[in-house]
Homo-oligomer: A and B are copies of this chain.
Amino acid sequence: MPTRVRQDLFDPRRGLDRGRSRAVELLWYGCKLVFFLSAWPWPSALRVWLLRRFGARVGPGVVIKPRVNIHLPWKLSVGAHAWLGEEVFILNFEPVSIGAHACISQRVFLCTGNHDFRDVTMPYRNRPIVVGDGAWVGAQVFVAPGVSIGDEAVVTAGSVVTRPLPPAMICAGHPCAPIKPRWPA
């Protein structure tokens, strides 16, 4: 019996506004290939300048390490003095907002991409992600679509974040949950 799922009927335009023309997206992909995905140690300032040219809102003092994968820069905002580590993967079909002074550590995956898997054509069900000001998302953390991480939250390395996290709490685990306050009482 063949499966009910019909990926051949998947409509990539349903539930997704790519936000720019195919030409602009290709141009971005070329820039991404050379200046973002490669390991070449381009200065952060050049990467930030490029992101802004493509419509990202990026504050001053932002650091972007090599091998960062950003899908659609015009759906990205990064606050002042935020830091993005190597191999960060930002699959931002929907907006990703990273707060000021936030730290996104190595191999973090911010994933706005999702599908309505109860529809056999698997239409997009993408949702935005917010990382609050001063939050620290530890290395290799996965953040699911629609999640908001509160200001000054700390997400310990390796966690899988499937639900919103409150501000100023240390959060850990799979699924990730608040454990204790970040700041001394």
Contact = CB atoms under 8 A, between A and B. Distances in A.
A162 B173 contact: no
Number of this chain's copies in the assembly equals 3
Contact of A100 (B2, B87, B91, B183): B2
Chain A residues touching B, range: 35 or more
Interface string A40-73: 1100000000000000000001000000010000
Contacts of A4: 134, 152, 183
Nearest to A174: B174
A20 interface: no
A173 B142 CA distance: 13
A158 B139 contact: no
A149 interface: no
A117 B101 contact: no
A34 to B, nearest CB: 10
Contact of A86 (B69, B81, B103): B69
Contacts of A89: 86-87, 106-107
Nearest to A100: B3
Contacts of A113: 105-106, 139
Contacts of A81: 6-8
Contacts of A111: 106, 139-140, 157
Interface string A113-141: 10101100010000000001110100110
